Chains A and B, each alone.
Chain A
């Protein structure tokens, strides 16, 4: 590989790394702001203009707090837990295509370097592997704390992640069948035209995937691992100082990666309507190199717009829905999402036999009709009198 390609690649990786850290940092600020706005408040506004320095103040505070390790805890595992959580969270953004490619001329040859950590043909599997490793961070931390609440939180996290990973994977198989590839870039490139975005061809899969990624990120309404009302602080009850900070931080990085993954899989990644026309015009007017790079930059920004929307959506849902009960969570995962996603795979496969991409709408239509019918059939306000004592 030529040196300039290597340099560009290194630069891209650094930029992606930096941006994902920056976005995770400011997600903490955004979370508080969004929470405040949804509750008719203003939110943090003391540190810097509009409270923009708040994350730095928070991090400073966390660094200066006592870094406490309980005497009964297993010391090395206790330290390993947050490191693992952070490590796996940061690793998963490597295969997400953030943009098309950067083009530059070298020795009169045009090189295209993908705006992506690394392009591998099993990108989806890689993300799934790393995300399921992520549960080890929680599990190890909770177990090493030697505290029953931490352990309960960790067990909940593990069982919840395992149950929802199945539905997550199954809902994606329909996309893999349509694309015929496990490469995330390939999947993104398949969605070049607006109405072929997977959210339009796979509406049911999208809803299942979205819900499951809420569960995977341990976000409300599925934040049972750190359910304050039942488990004190969940798996990070015993953690303090920056170790706690790393756990919280890795949650936000996970949120960022999930948002990126959702936008790449279902919302066309860096594609936007009329992208080809814009790219053509840019390359014609500004030359193949500058025009292409500018088009890539626009795609990059569009992709980040989508990611930021989904991060906002995560927060929006958090401040809307109450937490599920544990049995409801398991019922939803095993008895509803897994059968539904298998049905989705079957129907999509049957449609693909006849080259029809939109067949999973059939399930949506049938379900809507059934829902409306049951709503119409149901008695308006059947009040069963309460037993009087």
Chain B
């Protein structure tokens, strides 16, 4: 019985003199390695050169605004429930009169925090969100932490800036991820 067609019958035949002399095999081996010596190296010089990670890369979280610039999040908590790492926490609040330009619906997240040390960037929050409010952007990564108090990201760092909208139109979107401070919006 064969599970794959890659099985190879082991041969334990007597070695011929040429094989016992090792030299033909050694020369063959040297030829193989020297071919690799001159081959083009696939290395990407990482900090200097960054690779495009694809249109569905899951990077930095963003709390989306709608077309009129109102926050979409209604603090339903589905993302927090979906999160396997329990990285998301939020406090809901009721929209006051006069805040209609800020929040789309009557309920909004007064506090929305993601613990980036816990987050595993699985994207389940994005899938769970019924309001298309949470996205993991494909063009920006969460930067390296220096201090513990940098780890919890609040609304100040999560809500989409009005002059830096994140739009993922189609799968051909291309930008190379750069340091977050240097990034501009993408189309």
Interface residues of A (CB under 8 A from B): 34, 37-42, 45, 207, 316-317, 319-321, 367, 370-372, 374-375, 377-379, 381-384, 386
List 17 contacting pairs A-B, 8 Å CB cutoff, sorted by A.
A37-B36, A37-B41, A38-B37, A40-B42, A41-B43, A45-B45, A316-B30, A316-B34, A319-B33, A320-B26, A320-B30, A371-B21, A371-B24, A378-B13, A382-B11, A383-B9, A383-B13
The chain A residue with its CB closest to the CB of B28 is: A320
Known: A372-B18, A374-B16. A39 touches B36 (CB 8 A): yes
Known: A41-B43, A384-B11. A316 touches B16 (CB 8 A): no
Contact in complex: A41, B30 (CB < 8 Å):
no
- A38: B residues at CB distance < 8 A: 33-34, 36-37
In the complex, besides A371-B24, A383-B9, 15 extra interface pairs with C-beta distance below 8 angstroms are A37-B37, A41-B43, A42-B43, A316-B34, A316-B37, A320-B26, A320-B29, A367-B21, A371-B18, A372-B18, A374-B16, A379-B13, A383-B11, A384-B13, A386-B9
- B34: A residues at CB distance < 8 A: 38, 316
- B10: A residues at CB distance < 8 A: 386
Interface residues of B (CB under 8 A from A): 9-14, 16-18, 21, 23-24, 26, 29-30, 32-34, 36-37, 39, 41-43, 45
The 9 closest A-B pairs by CB, nearest first: A371-B18, A374-B17, A382-B13, A378-B16, A374-B16, A320-B29, A320-B33, A42-B43, A371-B17
Contact in complex: B18, A40 (CB < 8 Å):
no
Contact in complex: B11, A321 (CB < 8 Å):
no
Partner of B41, one of A40, A319, A374, A378: A40
- A383: B residues at CB distance < 8 A: 9, 11, 13
Chain B proximity of A87: nearest CB distance (Å): 34
The chain A residue with its CB closest to the CB of B44 is: A42
The chain B residue with its CB closest to the CB of A332 is: B22
- A37: B residues at CB distance < 8 A: 36-37, 41
- B42: A residues at CB distance < 8 A: 40
Contact in complex: A375, B43 (CB < 8 Å):
no
Complex formed: what's the CA distance from A191 to B58 in Å? 68
- A34: B residues at CB distance < 8 A: 37
Complex formed: what's the CA distance from A100 to B42 in Å? 45
Complex formed: what's the CA distance from A39 to B10 in Å? 28
Chain A proximity of B144: nearest CB distance (Å): 18
- A375: B residues at CB distance < 8 A: 16-18
Complex formed: what's the CA distance from A37 to B36 in Å? 7
Complex formed: what's the CA distance from A321 to B29 in Å? 7
Chain B proximity of A47: nearest CB distance (Å): 15
Complex formed: what's the CA distance from A382 to B15 in Å? 11
Contact in complex: A384, B12 (CB < 8 Å):
yes
- B17: A residues at CB distance < 8 A: 367, 370-371, 374-375
Chain A proximity of B7: nearest CB distance (Å): 11
Chain B proximity of A316: nearest CB distance (Å): 6
Chain B proximity of A327: nearest CB distance (Å): 15
Chain B proximity of A280: nearest CB distance (Å): 37
The chain B residue with its CB closest to the CB of A34 is: B37
Contact in complex: B18, A374 (CB < 8 Å):
yes
- B14: A residues at CB distance < 8 A: 378
- B16: A residues at CB distance < 8 A: 371, 374-375, 377-378
